[in-house]
Amino acid sequence: MPDYMRSCIEHFAVKVIYESFIVPADEDYLMSRLLAQKKFYRGFYWAAAQAVEKYLKAFLLMNGEGVKKYRGHSIKALFEAATKIDTTISALDILPHNTILIDDRIASHFRTFTATEFIEEIGKYGCPDNRYNVFGVEYNTGHLCALDSFSFKIRNKIGVLPITENFNKLSADMYLMFEKNNPWYQEEENGTLFQIPSKEFPILSSSNTTTLDYLKNNSDDEAYKLVLKWLSEKMKLPEIK
């Protein structure tokens, strides 16, 4: 194959991968941050899962691995496939950015994750079944910081344009909401330190159990069993994680 033809093929293949996976992943990532800031935690997980899934698929495609076989939005399977190509991905440091200073008095309430733990949580609470609020979610500000770290580091692994390139059409207020409290998005020479907690960057946590979850966990009760039976005849009841 002539060099010019190989170059043309590679150029357009990369362009399609970028437009089909990176651009929508960046948009999903932006949406997940906005939802977390507005305390819509189930929505945060759904958008975060969509972003992580697309980033991982982009990484695999850019390394010549097909993604058609990964059905059902299996983030864990995608992550495991990516680690086979680059073993350092499983050991990605997704601790909060080094400019984030966490007050010692509340540090025990702030969760941190390994990359594997983070993928498991995103895959659990952001799975398709939970689109219908089947089993609720547990959220901590640490989830958002881990998402920030993972997103920017996996983008570096993929080797794509800075995320700012995809947000140049945002309105000023939307741009500010994304930029605010996101040290990964700041210029390195900025030198800004982010103190947690603060008025703009509080420590937030949320945990909820849904009625369906409660019914399934107490299905020995005859009344609850009948409710579940009636519901199962009228709708698909996903498995509780």
Give the tens place of pLDDT for each residue, 32-88.
999 998 899 999 999 999 999 999 999 999 999 999 887 766 899 999 999 999 999
pLDDT in tens, 143-200: 999 999 999 999 999 999 888 888 877 888 877 777 777 888 765 445 677 888 887 7
- For the cut 50, the answer to whether the pLDDT of residue 203 exceeds it is yes
Q: Answer yes or no: pTM beyond 0.85.
A: yes
Give the whole-angstrom CA distance, residue 69 versus residue 63: 16
pLDDT in tens, 96-139: 998 888 988 888 889 999 999 999 999 999 998 888 888 889 99
Cis peptide preceding 197, ω within 30 of 0: yes
- For the cut 90, the answer to whether the pLDDT of residue 236 exceeds it is no
Give the whole-angstrom CA distance, residue 204 versus residue 64: 40
pLDDT in tens, 23-38: 999 999 999 999 998 8
**Which residue blocks in 130-221 are alpha helix, DSSP H?**
141-158, 172-179, 211-217
The mean pLDDT of the chain is 87
- For residue 167, CA distances in Å to 171, 179, 184 come to 9, 11, 15
